[in-house]
Amino acid sequence: MTAVAENKPAYDGKVLDLTGKSGARAFKNTLATVLIVLAFAVAMIPLLWILFTVVSKGYHLLLSADWWSQSQRGITVRRAGGGAYHAIMGTLIMALITAVIAVPIAILGAIYLVEYGKGTRAAKVVSFMIDILTGVPSIVAALFVYAVWITVFGFNRVGFAVSLSLVLLMLPVVLRSTEEMLKLVPDELREASYALGVPKWKTILKVVVPTAFGGIITGVMLGLARVMGETAPLLILVGYSKNINLNPFNGFMGALPTMINQDRTELALPNAADRVWAAALTLILLVLALNLLARLIARFSAIKSK
């Protein structure tokens, strides 16, 4: 040990500047930090403002049991009373039908793009079309379904037609998010499965999709949240009904966005205004509930590591 100590070179006496602080860099750092915090605040202000306004103006109607169990049947804009049951059920039924149609197509499409079509011409075409579909405004999707469903086939304006147009809006959202989630699954897991003599389709079904499941569910819920607030397809493809109608293939149907639209026309009347805010809050809560449900499912099925 002593030999080592004796051989140790002496300090060279030079003190290095390790504080790393120079005036210009510190200033830039502060400036960037301030800008970022400001940008965050600017983004948060409208969100909090909206939430505060909607909650404060809408919450009291939600406290009554009638709101969750009654329709607006026979309630004129001037009168108070009634509920949003018809609109909540309409929104949920149409969203459910949309999901039942869109989710399998989107997930199978994403599996094709990631697992089978990678790099092929067909995959590039599909991918490009999905990009276009992402940019289609809801009113265009609605008019397209109107042209096919009502003009060509001669059906009536019903809830199912709304679901068809919402499928066009939900499909690209779910497909893209599922695609990203499948891409995140490491190839090593696929190879591990192949090395056990497991066929490709079973590898996808039992290894790849379960690994990506949490992310896929989140994508589905984001897609649902997106379509539940759409108004244009409702206005074009199904009339607003104040009565409870649970049949998506017959008659007009209530929905939360069109209920808001209905009472909005008489916003000067206090009872109508109350209903507008309450319906808006209900819609936000429905979307929130779906998101929480998605989180729960994702956590329940999460990749376990401990």
Partner 1 sequence: MAKRIEVSGLNVYYGDFKAVEDVSMTVEPRSVTAFIGPSGCGKSTFLRTLNRMHEVIPGARVEGKVMLDQQDLYGAGIDPVAVRRVVGMVFQRPNPFPTMSIFDNVASGLKLNGVKDRKKLTEVVESSLKGANLWNEVKDRLDKPGAGLSGGQQQRLCIARAIAVEPEVILMDEPCSALDPISTLAIEDLIEKLKDRFTVVIVTHNMQQAARVSDQTAFFNLAATGKPGRLIEMAPTKQIFSNPAEKATEDYITGRFG
Interface residues toward partner 1, by CB under 8 A: 118-119, 186-200, 202-203, 206-207, 210-211, 213, 301, 303-306
Closer residue to partner 1, CB minimum distance, 91 or 193: 193
Minimal distance in Å, beta carbon 97 to partner 1?
A: 30
Nearest-angstrom CA–CA distance, 290 and 299? 14
Cβ of residue 86: shortest distance to partner 1, in angstroms?
42
**Smallest distance, Å, CB 212 to partner 1?**
10
Min separation Cβ 123 and partner 1, Å: 12
Nearer of residues 204 and 227 to partner 1, judged by Cβ: 204
Residue 18 vs 196, nearer CB to partner 1: 196
Spell out the SS3 assignment of the chain: CHHHHHHCCCCCCCCCCCCCCCHHHHHHHHHHHHHHHHHHHHHHHHHHHHHHHHHHHHHHHHCCHHHHHCCCCCCCCCCCCCCCHHHHHHHHHHHHHHHHHHHHHHHHHHHHHHHHCCCCHHHHHHHHHHHHHHCCCHHHHHHHHHHHHHHHCCCCCCHHHHHHHHHHHHHHHHHHHHHHHHHHCCHHHHHHHHHCCCCHHHHHHHHHHHHHHHHHHHHHHHHHHHHHCCCHHHHHHCCCCCCCCCCCCCCCCCCHHHHHHHHHCCCCCHHHHHHHHHHHHHHHHHHHHHHHHHHHHHHHCCCCCC
Least Å distance, CB 117 to partner 1, is 11
User: Helices 209-228 and 159-184: crossing angle, nearest 10°?
Assistant: 140
Q: C-beta of 217: minimal distance to partner 1 in Å?
A: 14
Nearer to partner 1, 226 or 295 (CB): 295
Closest distance of CB 203 from partner 1, Å: 8
Residues 6+ apart with CB under 8 A from 242: 71, 72, 73, 74, 75, 82, 86, 254, 262
**Among residues 94 and 208, whose Cβ is nearest to partner 1?**
208
Q: How far is the CB of 99 from partner 1 (least distance, A)?
A: 23
